[in-house]
Structure 1
């Protein structure tokens, strides 16, 4: 009865739930599932072991390559300064401007908007030296990687960066600048567009001028924060060393200006002016004309990149006569009170030798020989010195050897073989008045410094080395190899002073100062043959004679005109340099002396 009552209730069938009977899982299936799970776990453990044990170093390297930023050295160079600290060469930061049109977007634009090149060109043109049309022409239809311009200064680059234009990138790089223009080009040289040294000290001192730089590897965290680990010692070290010259920009400017004016006046091929400190060999000035501007070297002929005063040979002529007299005095071949007979001409080995003015000066002392620049008198004086001994001295002075100098490209002079010199009488005869052999202007300055400093052969140089910060290197100490007796050099200096007082060097006289000098006007030889009408005019001065400190040499190649002599062409340049030297070096007036007319001989 109870069962029928229950079944008659409405919805009772819908509430009945189906009961699924549980069946036992077969043991084989359980074992299969368990085995499968175990295999998976073992596989994961094996994979972890493989990654952590066998691939750990490879994965770590890959991670570090993503996390590490490596920067290569920029190749910056140290500055060059003159002896007072004035900048001669330095690296400045410049920028290249790159365009990527596929990313062009202006401030305020929707990030997905790509601006046409004309919009960006309109923004950039007022900031550059290019017009909109020129910018669009360079862009063309290229989508990216367009180098628009280079050489931008930091101020312009900052203005462009502040414009916030997407697709416009600035790349910084070091750029070599020469603030003094052409003033030191002949000795400093320049870097080409690839920053490769091409001439001068930039080339010869390349290793010293390169800054100490290392490639930098900096790790960063996920948020870009630098991590201070794994950095090599000294990786951020940067030196402030500068290469200091012995040259003085003020005196260099005086010499260059005076020399350039005289080269133009006499329509000469070239010229050089050198000032040396005879005590230590430092060059205070080395001006060469014509020259070039290293900031725009491509605008000048390549021949100007050579410094001819250390690379080209010439016959010194009469400026070598004081050196010859010193050699004869050193060997006691002549005496300070000696005299020679000047008949105006003499024949040696069948070759006639004449004075430049063909005038006979009679019996004259050696001071007068220099005053009138007597070729015959020099031949007579040097004939008293055995030719073998004479040649030995010329070789000992280094005429046929490269000078010990830091000037790049310096070459040795040319001297006849000892056999030629001793067996052919004409050779020592022509050498007595400075012809028949050749040397560089730099070598002649060195030899006149030998006379001025008491007989020591100093090494001419233009650098004082590397200095840090604002510190400047002091002048070098007295040095040099002794070759001549001091009393010999003092005698010759007195004779050279008489040239300024009474002879062809009168134009360089300066009230209150004792100056010695010697003019020279020599024939120019080319490939062993004298060029008709071609002359080399020169003048060398030493001051002050009472305490010699400086030698000034001026050489002018092939001046044009009938009145071209050492006294008219080269001497005025030396006078301008001496006037500037007295002021710059604050040289006090000379001490009282015995008049030149009362000197022995």
Structure 2
């Protein structure tokens, strides 16, 4: 009996010791899990059930002067899944009755609703079947997204993002630029990316094993911030008119390219900057001419030809070296001691011309004879004051030529002469427009600009350009030059252009030879017209330029486009007609 009790007690002791040891193991393991490894395991747990979500800050709009959208952001949707949750289910799959839905049936329905590819979806799921994330289809618009959503597939998760569209298409495409997979690629999108770009935020939510978001589990880590609105000076309606006008003319002239600008003479605001050919930012790949990705009016340099004679004439008057009725004896050609020679575009006997007549007939010989009354340095400095030889200070646009010239001209003897009729020097179409804006604005040059500023999401205006005006020549010199330029239209190189009824117009033509590298100048030309109206109080400046026209290589070929566009401008802005006929200076003596 005593032995039996002793054995029983021994067994109890052994059992108790085993229980105590087992409890001790559990306690130690519990302490290890809840204390020692708690942080690590907690993070691992969160990683498995916490789903990160990017909250996209919307990219700001680019708008015209009236608030019309030139570039806009719209919602697009990516459809994602958790491959480990992809499985057959019971559902309607967009129908009216509940049924068994296989994975293949679901993918087929998703592809039909979204326009996606079943094989691609299957490949993405199979790439990592135990993962929590894979893309099925990207970039759906709202219509296609809603079609997918209505399928009610339990293992689909939408991801919202912002996409870029350009409502005016190619009309302002060269100005707005476009976006690519790596961000802003060209135009204002690129130059003002810091203003336009939104700041993405982030949040997380917890998802159960069945893939369903747990209510109340969303935690915002960082708030998203929308980008600013870039306000331009462009008039989208006028931009379209300018675009159509030069495209039609360029095709008729068989020109390689063309540009047009419209400027408010009093403010320096660019109302239209048109290019042909141009890019549709909604379909960039359709544009084979990569030179059309940007605006040639802003970036392409060329020798401007005789449009520069207006600046030389104004400088002569401003320095008291000449006057509209100053007399000159002008032969057809002129030779120089270093062996150089220049001539006028058409043969003529020696003529008695005034400075007005020299502009009217666009005489290379005549403008150099009078222009040499100014020193080389004086002419150079006046050209710079008119806006040549320097970057456009109030325009931020990629690809503009740096044009950083020195304090003194680095010209040969021949270039010194040729520069007075626009050969041997480089300009852009915008710089030529700046010369005529200055003359039209009583000699005050206002930096041409096409952006008013960027209005941030919190209402602040930033990136406003400095458009302080500079007096280049006196009001009298500018007004006399404009009055002389009316003779170009009434009896000079633009005499063949049909008048714009009711308006006095002042303009200058340009026909410049195109340099062909070491071969010198060849047979190709760049033709242009730059002018303003109404001449007695100019409101708007219009320029048109055609590169390498084939059917008409003279500035007369550019005249119809200038007339059409100027007429559209005067009509659109309801400019009051001239009240009297032009009072002209004599052109001969």
- TM-score in terms of structure 1 length: 0.81
Distance 1:148 1:531 in 2: 59
1:543: which partner in 2?
Answer: 533
2:253 pairs, out of 260, 263, 266, with 266
For residues 220-253 of structure 1, give each alpha carbon's deviation from its aligned partner in whole angstroms, at most 9, with x where no partner exists: 999823268x756xx4454473212211111111
Q: 1:586 to 1:470 in 2, by over 3 A?
A: farther
1:161 pairs, out of 118, 142, 149, with 149
C-alpha RMSD of matched pairs (Å)? 4.2
Q: 1:428 to 1:175 in 2, by over 3 A?
A: same
SS in 2 for 1:155: helix
Distance 2:90 2:286 in 1: 40
Distance 2:524 2:515 in 1: 8
1:514 pairs, out of 504, 512, 517, with 504
1:486: which partner in 2?
Answer: 475
Contact 2:316/2:371 (<8 A) preserved: yes
1:253 pairs, out of 240, 244, 264, with 240
Unpaired runs of at least 5, structure 1: 1-18
Distance 1:45 1:165 in 2: 44
1:415 Cα deviation after fit:
6.9
Equivalent positions of 1:34-73 (< 5 A) are: 58=40, 61=43, 68-73=50-55
Equivalent positions of 1:131-530 (< 5 A) are: 144=126, 150-165=138-153, 171-192=159-180, 194-217=181-204, 224-226=214-216, 235-236=222-223, 238-239=225-226, 241-301=228-288, 302-349=290-337, 350-360=339-349, 362-397=351-386, 399-404=388-393, 405-413=395-403, 418=408, 421=411, 424-467=412-455, 479-506=468-495, 507=497, 509-527=499-517, 529-530=519-520
Q: 1:81 to 1:587 in 2, by over 3 A?
A: same
Contact 1:399/1:415 (<8 A) preserved: no
Q: 1:596 to 1:108 in 2, by over 3 A?
A: closer
SS in 2 for 1:251: helix
SS in 2 for 1:450: helix
Distance 1:488 1:583 in 2: 29
Distance 1:215 1:125 in 2: 29
Q: 1:488 to 1:528 in 2, by over 3 A?
A: farther
Distance 1:425 1:286 in 2: 35
Q: 1:481 to 1:125 in 2, by over 3 A?
A: same
Unpaired runs of at least 5, structure 2: 128-133
1:48 Cα deviation after fit:
7.6
1:519 Cα deviation after fit:
1.0
1:103 pairs, out of 87, 110, 116, with 87
Distance 1:477 1:544 in 2: 27
Larger CA deviation: 180-189 vs 579-588: 579-588
2:555: which partner in 1?
Answer: 566
2:131: which partner in 1?
Answer: none
Larger CA deviation: 505-514 vs 452-461: 505-514
Q: 1:226 to 1:297 in 2, by over 3 A?
A: same
1:390 Cα deviation after fit:
2.3
Contact 1:415/1:438 (<8 A) preserved: no
Distance 1:266 1:574 in 2: 14
Contact 1:244/1:472 (<8 A) preserved: no
1:177 Cα deviation after fit:
1.3
SS in 2 for 1:514: coil
Q: Does 1:89 align with 2:76?
A: no
Q: 1:529 to 1:459 in 2, by over 3 A?
A: farther
Larger CA deviation: 70-79 vs 496-505: 70-79
Q: 1:296 to 1:308 in 2, by over 3 A?
A: same
Contact 2:512/2:525 (<8 A) preserved: yes
Distance 2:443 2:548 in 1: 32
1:53 Cα deviation after fit:
6.8
For residues 318-377 of structure 1, give each alpha carbon's deviation from its aligned partner in whole angstroms, at most 9, with x where no partner exists: 111101111222222213431211122221233232211111362211221111111111
Q: Does 1:580 align with 2:562?
A: no
1:23 Cα deviation after fit:
6.6
Contact 2:504/2:582 (<8 A) preserved: no
Q: 1:121 to 1:509 in 2, by over 3 A?
A: same
Q: Does 1:77 align with 2:88?
A: no
Larger CA deviation: 301-310 vs 547-556: 301-310
1:65 Cα deviation after fit:
5.2
Q: 1:82 to 1:42 in 2, by over 3 A?
A: same
Q: 1:466 to 1:104 in 2, by over 3 A?
A: farther
- TM-score in terms of structure 2 length: 0.83
For residues 358-405 of structure 1, give each alpha carbon's deviation from its aligned partner in whole angstroms, at most 9, with x where no partner exists: 113622112211111111111111121122322333345453322212
1:280 Cα deviation after fit:
3.0
SS in 2 for 1:429: helix
1:317 Cα deviation after fit:
0.7
2:545: which partner in 1?
Answer: 555
Contact 1:104/1:116 (<8 A) preserved: yes
Q: 1:529 to 1:436 in 2, by over 3 A?
A: farther
Larger CA deviation: 359-368 vs 517-526: 359-368
Distance 2:197 2:106 in 1: 39
Q: 1:485 to 1:218 in 2, by over 3 A?
A: farther
- Count residues in correspondence: 570
Larger CA deviation: 575-584 vs 283-292: 575-584
SS in 1 for 2:179: coil
